[in-house]
Amino acid sequence: MRRVLAWMLSGMLVLPLVLLVLLSLARHWTWPALLPAELQVRQWRDLFADANGLGTVVLRSLGMGVGVAVVATTLGFASSRSLARHARKGRLLALLHLPFAVSPVVLGVSLLYAFLRLHLAGHMLGVMLAQLVFAYAYAVILLSGFWNQRARSLEELASSLGAGRRQVWLHVLMPLARPLLGVCLFQTFLISWFDYALVLLIGSGQVSTLTMTLYQYFSSGDIRLAATCALLLLTPPLLALGLNHQLLSATIVTRLEAYDDE
């Protein structure tokens, strides 16, 4: 029974990906054929030969994702430490959930008004700042779990042994938080990478990302190009997931857990 459930779960996760791969390579695939009659790589060639310059779009999306992830995680790590020691920690933490409680579209509309006045609408920087609202809040919430009594004791211990503030961060806190920082970088990257609503609203049609391109292909009815673009959209997260899995299963996590148990 357990094996059947495992196969069903794997099938549910893998089948959509297989379908996307087949669609991106299919030349003729008509009902009721189970598999395409003929395969080709034309969709992939067309995608990159596109006059819109998909290479640039991919690079822009990657750049925005990495930028948002690095800024959100860096600021989030420092802010979460201050938050953990704040007298009104609970209230501030609740406030940080606000961006997720309201719809991104609602928040996007209100941000658009402000960004129009600041001349940030229609610019990549504006879109990234809007994404940062979500990514930063997420980073602080995620990383606030790191600052427990043990982290504080280790911080004090390092400082008692002669470590200055910078040394405490470099030699104790960052190595200890490495697995969590990896998760945070990954998740905040995904917030930007998969974002559509904020790019649409704040970008005002001037900022083209991979999600925008995917929707354009989809709405134009070219399902095969859309599938190819969707696969491209899935590639970095899948690669990051593999890397992240390694980070998560790194010995440091095992050690921390073992130490906590004793």
Partner 1 sequence: MMSDASSPTLRVDHLGVQLGGQFVLRDVSIVVDAHTTMAVIGASGCGKTTLLRAIAGLVTPERGEVRLGARRVDLLPPNRRGIVYLNQEPLLFPHLDLFENIAFGLRLRRLPERQVRERVAEMLVQLELDGMERRHAHALSGGQRQRAAFGRALVVEPALLLLDEPFSNLDPDTRTSMQDLFKQLAHRRGITALLVTHDLKESMRMGDSFAMMRGGRVHAYADRKAFCADPASGVDREAAFWQAFASGEVQVPRCDVPTGDS
Q: Where on the chain is the footprint of partner 1 (CB under 8 A)?
A: 150, 153-154, 156-164, 167, 171-172, 175-176, 178, 252, 254-256, 258-259, 262
H helical segments located in 85-148: 89-96, 98-101, 104-117, 124-143
CB of 175 to partner 1, least distance (A): 4
Burial class (CB in 10 A: 0-12, 13-18, 19+), 22: middle
Query: Toward partner 1, which CB reaches closer, 167 or 246?
Result: 167
Query: Toward partner 1, which CB reaches closer, 141 or 163?
Result: 163
Answer positive or negative: Cα dihedral of 175, 84, 133, 165.
Answer: negative
Distances in Å between the alpha carbon of 248 and those of 53, 110, 153, 260?
36, 37, 23, 17
DSSP classification of residue 41: S
CB of 85 to partner 1, least distance (A): 13
CB of 190 to partner 1, least distance (A): 27
Burial class (CB in 10 A: 0-12, 13-18, 19+), 75: middle
Query: Toward partner 1, which CB reaches closer, 155 or 195?
Result: 155
Q: Which helix (H) or strand (E) holds 172?
A: none
CB of 254 to partner 1, least distance (A): 8
DSSP string, 48-66: HH-TT-HHHHHHHHHHHHH
Query: Toward partner 1, which CB reaches closer, 103 or 249?
Result: 249
Burial class (CB in 10 A: 0-12, 13-18, 19+), 222: middle
CB of 255 to partner 1, least distance (A): 5
Query: Toward partner 1, which CB reaches closer, 25 or 247?
Result: 247
CB of 243 to partner 1, least distance (A): 19
Distance CA 107, CA 111 (A): 6
Distance CA 176, CA 169 (A): 10
CB of 174 to partner 1, least distance (A): 10
